[in-house]
């Protein structure tokens, strides 16, 4: 069983489109995250939810909107996609937000053309 | 606030040792270490907490100097499987930060 899964694995789309990435974890964790990894491999936190409550909201464009329908799911919706949004987006989860190991999903490679 | 990792890259032969360093300009509560192989997700290695507690793999060792705000990851008798990019993530001390800020990574290549 996959602990943290993401769909889709690859996403190729044109500028201006709206797209969503879905994430699910079956570990029973309370906390989930979205990270962005750019072409230089820089891994940066975007958002974090704990028990469906937003606890980390980094400085990202408001075109990015996370949504957590329940503790096991965290989705990322991106409006009006731009070339600079091209990156690998990782979902992760941890038992709680305080210094527990994070389990990463396989990543979604988003390419905006 | 991004921690600084050194070296940026290191090449080893199987069986050799390596040390990867991570330093911060701010007081830290914890340091986390992850390894990412090419095309894969980061994988947890170890957490070092203020006060000396450690959580992680038995075969990986690391240190955390709270006063100097530095951590080092020790890879001994390296194996081919150790190859990958190593990231340290730091959690700041004081308050409910809950945020990991990752360094730029250290690319480790182990050759036969």
pLDDT in tens, B18-60: 999 999 999 998 999 999 999 999 999 999 988 777 777 666 7
A5 pLDDT above the threshold of 90:
yes
Q: pLDDT higher for A77 or A56? A: A77
Residues of A in contact with B108 (CB under 8 A): none
Task: Compute the C-alpha angle B26/B101/B62, nearest 5°.
Answer: 75
As given in the structure block, the two tokens for residue A69 are 């329908």
Domain count, chain B: 1
Determine the residue among B42, B51, B108 to mutate to test chain A binding: the one whose Cβ has the most chain A Cβ atoms within 10 Å: B42
pLDDT for the residue numbered A59: 80
**pLDDT per residue as tens digits for the range A22-73:** 999 999 999 999 999 999 999 999 999 998 889 888 888 999 999 999 999 9
Q: Answer whether residue A110 shows pLDDT above 80.
A: yes
Helix, coil or strand: residue A84: helix
Q: What CATH number is given to the structural domain containing B58?
A: 2.60.40.10
- Is A108 an interface residue toward B (CB < 8 Å)? no
Q: Determine the average pLDDT of the residues in B1-15.
A: 95
Which chain A residues touch B42 with a CB distance below 8 Å? 43, 90, 104
CB-based contact A20:A13 (threshold 8 Å): no
Residue B102 has pLDDT above 90, yes or no: yes
pLDDT at B97 (0 to 100): 63
Q: Does A13 touch chain B (CB under 8 A)?
A: no
Q: Which domains does chain A have, with CATH numbers?
A: 4-112 (2.60.40.10)
Tell me the residue range of the domain where B33 lies: 4-111
- Establish if B4 touches chain A: CB-CB under 8 angstroms: no
CA distance linking residue B108 with residue B34, whole number of Å:
12
At A60 the pLDDT is 87
Chain B residues in contact with A40 by the CB 8 A cut-off are 104
Cα A35 to chain centroid distance, Å, stands at 6
Helix (H) or strand (E) holding A32: strand A31-37
- The answer, yes or no, to whether residue B96 has pLDDT greater than 70, is no
Tell me what pLDDT residue B17 has.
93
A contacts of B43 (beta carbons < 8 Å): 104
Q: Please state which of the ranges B6-15, B53-62, B89-98 shows the lowest mean pLDDT.
A: B53-62
Instruction: Quote the tokens at residue B89.
Output: 């993530």
Q: Is residue A105 less than 8 Å (CB to CB) from chain B?
A: yes
More confident residue, A19 or A97: A19
């Amino acid at each position: 069983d996959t602990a943290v899964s993401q769909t889709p694995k690859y996403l190729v789309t044109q500028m201006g489109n709206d797209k969503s990435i879905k994430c699910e974890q079956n570990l029973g964790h309370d906390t989930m995250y979205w990270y962005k990894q750019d072409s230089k491999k820089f891994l940066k936190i975007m958002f974090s939810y704990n028990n469906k409550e937003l606890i980390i909201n980094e400085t990202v464009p408001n075109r990015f909107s996370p949504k957590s329908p329940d503790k096991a799911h965290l989705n990322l919706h991106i409006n009006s996609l731009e070339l600079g949004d091209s990156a690998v987006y990782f979902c992760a989860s941890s038992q709680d937000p305080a210094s527990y190991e994070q389990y990463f999903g396989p990543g979604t490679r988003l390419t905006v053309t | 606030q991004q921690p600084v990792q050194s070296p940026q890259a290191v090449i080893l032969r199987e069986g050799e040792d390596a040390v990867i360093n991570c330093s911060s300009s701010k007081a830290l509560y914890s340091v986390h270490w992850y390894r990412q192989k090419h095309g894969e997700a980061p994988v947890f290695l170890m957490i070092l907490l203020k006060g000396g507690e450690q959580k992680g793999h038995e075969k990986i060792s690391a240190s955390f100097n709270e006063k100097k705000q530095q951590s080092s990851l020790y890879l001994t008798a390296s194996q081919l499987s150790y190859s990958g990019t190593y990231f340290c993530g730091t959690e700041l001390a004081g308050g409910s930060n809950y945020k990991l800020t990752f360094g730029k990574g250290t690319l480790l290549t182990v050759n036969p």
